[in-house]
Amino acid sequence: MDKSQLLVRAKPYYKPNQLLELEHAIDVATVAHAHQKRKSGEPYINHPMAVADILVSWGMDIDSVIAGILHDTVEDTEISLDQIENLFGHDVAFLVDGVTKVSQARAGMQNLENYLPRTKDNLSKLLIAVGQDIRVIIIKLADRLHNMSTLQYMSREKQLKIARETLEVFAPMADRLGMGRVRVELEELAFSYLNPPEYKRLKGLLKKKLGKSTRKLGEVKLEVEAELKKYGLKAEVNGRVKSVYSLFKKLAKVSGEIDNIYDLMALRIIVDKKEDCYLVLGILHDLYQPMINRIKDYIAIPKPNGYQSLHTTVITRNKQIVEFQIRTYDMHEFAERGLAASFHYNEQKTTKGYTEKRHSSTLPSNMQWITQMQEVVTKLKNDEEISPDQLNVDLFGNRIFVHSPKGDIYNLPEGALPLDFAYLVHSDIAKHAYSFRVNGMIHPFDKPLQNGDIVEVITRKLSLPKQDWKDLVTTTHARNKLRTQLGQHDISSIYNSVKNIIYTKANPRKK
């Protein structure tokens, strides 16, 4: 892709002055990378141009696109961060610096599973970059997506290393941001390098299996469209084929029996309003026989990454089992592009508050984990002491959402225990926790919470934190609050003991 092609693709989405700024960035990056080549032999500038093009397709703001063009300049060329700030402003420089820090942090990583380096310095770079502006990670995802598409030019050793990192780190990262389409693309590319024979086998199996049912599914599609038209519903009906890597994971759960997988191909129905989703669900269940245990309402209770949709599986008149996904256009946009679809930087980034707070207050509830990192980020920036527990931050693990009896939503990692919830609500409430009710039933301290649970903390003033609570919390936040409370309790106990000794000596009992 050359400069003119990128500018043509960007033209519908940005103002004339923004396009001029983008053109300037392309010129600067082209000169900076002029003598560099990629492993394929093509000019290096092709890579940042492709990254910027991906960011345009995701609907990112102009600063992100410009940072995409310049993301390798500070690390790989003579251009300095100060020069970028002078030419393109603070925000672009901040993003380029963030992407550079993530790259530097990755260079020191020893633990791919949690995407964390072992050294405090590298962890600082990573957390500060990610915690202050999540656009840094979105740019990094675009960078990785393009690198994966050109991985064939690397040595086999590097292919395996990069593909494994992509599958274990970047794909889950995309999932955490709700970027479903990006997650699938990354998984497919990575899996094709990590296990080429199995990838090829499953791709052939999927093609063969779908070949038999595509025609029948086309008939179902026409039947559903006709039925929705009778009700005057405006809807878009299209098909969705399961990815090869998703099939690989699903087969492991059903003992390798592909006939036990009902969603190899699903029909997706997209409507204008949320109410129409439920109306469509009723129409489908009136038209076909629903499989009751396969009805899922992700609209009322979204998935932890924010995904919303109604899922139902039905048995058609010709005995074909078909899965339907029903959602609005907005839900579909978020399912495809995730957090990239929900950012509105252009109005916010001009304010001082935006620059300082990095839009944390505007994030949807399912992205609370980003703002929860701020406690660690602030301590790192102030060079405060960090405990080993605080270094064990799981940025990209699975999340659940639980509710208070009043309906407030709290975001916790999967496997969180009731005390984790209590400390997230308020440390004073947790301090006096006596028992818990979950969904109206008494719930043990050591039983994990589930997505959608309604959790009530029952308190007693005389109840105080205990040492064995250390085994009943899983989050860094709860562990730190508990440690502080136990320390205060120990100091108080020592003080009372000393006071009693002094009192006893001053007032000896009469014999």
Would you name the residues annotated as active-site residues?
75-76
Instruction: For residue 334, give every residue at least 6 positions away whose Cβ sits within 8 Å of its Cβ, in sequence order, or none.
Output: 178, 306, 307, 308, 341, 342
**Beta pairing class for 265-271 and 321-328:** parallel
Q: What are phi and psi of 315, to 5 degrees?
A: -110, 115
The SS3 of residue 265 is strand
The Cα–Cα gap between 404 and 411 comes to 11
Residue 110 neighbours by CB under 8 Å, 6+ apart:
117, 118
Amino acid at 462: L
Structure tokens belonging to residue 63: 């600063």
The amino acid occupying position 1 is M
Return the exposure string of 202-231: e unless at least 16 CB atoms fall within 10 Å of the residue's CB, then b.
beeebeebeeeeeeebeebbeebeebbeee
Can you list the alpha helix ranges (DSSP code H) found in 349-475? 352-357, 368-372, 374-381, 388-391, 418-425, 427-431
User: What secondary structure letter does DSSP report for 37?
Assistant: B
Distance CA 236, CA 324 (A): 12
Tell me how far apart the terminal alpha carbons of the chain are, to the nearest angstrom.
99
Host H or E run for residue 117:
strand 116-117
| Angstrom distance (rounded) from CA 461 to CA 279 | 49
CB 304 within 8 A of CB 396: no
260: three-class secondary structure by DSSP: helix
Measured CA to CA, the distance from residue 179 to residue 191 in angstroms comes to 18
